[in-house]
A and B are shown apart, each in its own frame.
Chain A
Amino acid sequence: MSDEVLVRARNVSKEYRRGSEVVHVLGDVNVEVPRGDFVALMGPSGSGKTTLLNLIGGLDRATSGSIDVAGQRLDQMSDAVLARWRADHVGFVFQMYNLLPVLTAARNVELPLLLTKLGRADREKRIAAALALVGLADRAKHKPKELSGGQEQRVGIARAIVADPTILLCDEPTGDLDRKSGDEILDLLEALNAKHGKTILMVTHDPHAAARAKHTLHLDKGALTREAV
Chain B
Amino acid sequence: MFRFVPLVWANLWRRPLRSIFTLLSIIVAFVLFGLLEALRFGLFAGVEAAGDDRLMVTNRMSIVRDLPGSYLGKVQGLAGVKAVAVQVWFGGWYQDEHNQLQVIAVDPEPFFTVYPDVHVPPAERQAWITDRAGVLVGRRIAADFGWHVGDHIPLQQSIPYKGDSNTWDVTVRGIYNQDAADDTGIFIQYKYLDETRQFGRGRIGWMVPRLDNPADAKEISKRIDALFENSGTETKTAPEKAWAGDFSRQIGNVGAILSFIASAVFFTMLLVAANTMAQAVRERTNEIGVLKTLGFTHAAVTRLVLGEALCLTIAGGLIGLGLAKFLALGLKPGLSRIVPLFDLPQRAVLIGLALTVLLGLLAGALPAARAMRLGVAEALRGA
Contact = CB atoms under 8 A, between A and B. Distances in A.
A94 B289 CA distance: 12
* Top 3 A-B residue pairs of the complex, sorted by shortest distance between their CB atoms: A87-B295, A102-B10, A83-B297
B153 interface: no
A103 B297 contact: no
B4 A114 contact: yes
B293 A86 contact: yes
Nearest to A99: B290
Interface stretch (B66-74, B110-118, B372-380): B372-380
Contacts of B292: 59, 83
Interface string B350-383: 0000000000000000000000000111001000
A128 B140 CA distance: 64
A111 interface: yes
B318 to A, nearest CB: 23
B131 interface: no
B13 interface: yes
A57 interface: yes
A38 interface: no
B295 A88 contact: yes
Contacts of A101: 14
Nearest to A156: B290
B294 A92 contact: yes
A114 B3 contact: yes
A24 interface: no
B13 A59 contact: no
Contact of A84 (B6, B287, B297, B375): B297
Contacts of A107: 6-7, 10
B257 interface: no
Contact of A59 (B287, B296, B377): B377
Given A59-B380, A92-B294, 15 more contacts: A59-B293, A59-B377, A60-B376, A60-B377, A80-B299, A83-B292, A83-B298, A84-B297, A86-B293, A92-B293, A94-B290, A94-B380, A102-B14, A107-B7, A107-B10
18 contacts: A54-B376, A54-B377, A80-B299, A83-B295, A83-B298, A86-B295, A87-B294, A92-B293, A92-B294, A98-B290, A100-B7, A100-B290, A102-B14, A107-B10, A114-B7, A115-B296, A115-B300, A120-B3
B286 interface: yes
- Contact-size category for B: 20 to 34
B349 to A, nearest CB: 33
Interface of B: 3-4, 6-7, 10-11, 13-14, 286-287, 290-300, 375-377, 380
A57 B297 contact: no
A227 interface: no
A43 interface: no
Contacts of A88: 295
Contacts of B13: 102
B287 A100 contact: yes
Interface in A160-178: none
A112 interface: yes
A4 B106 CA distance: 99
Given A102-B11, A107-B6, A107-B10, A115 B294 contact: yes
A112 B297 contact: no
Contact of B376 (A59, A84, A111, A159): A59
Contacts of B3: 114, 120
Contacts of A92: 293-294
A103 B377 contact: no
Contact of B293 (A57, A100, A120): A57
Contacts of A103: 7, 10
Nearest to B10: A102
B301 to A, nearest CB: 9
Nearest to A123: B3
Nearest to A51: B377
A103 B10 CA distance: 7
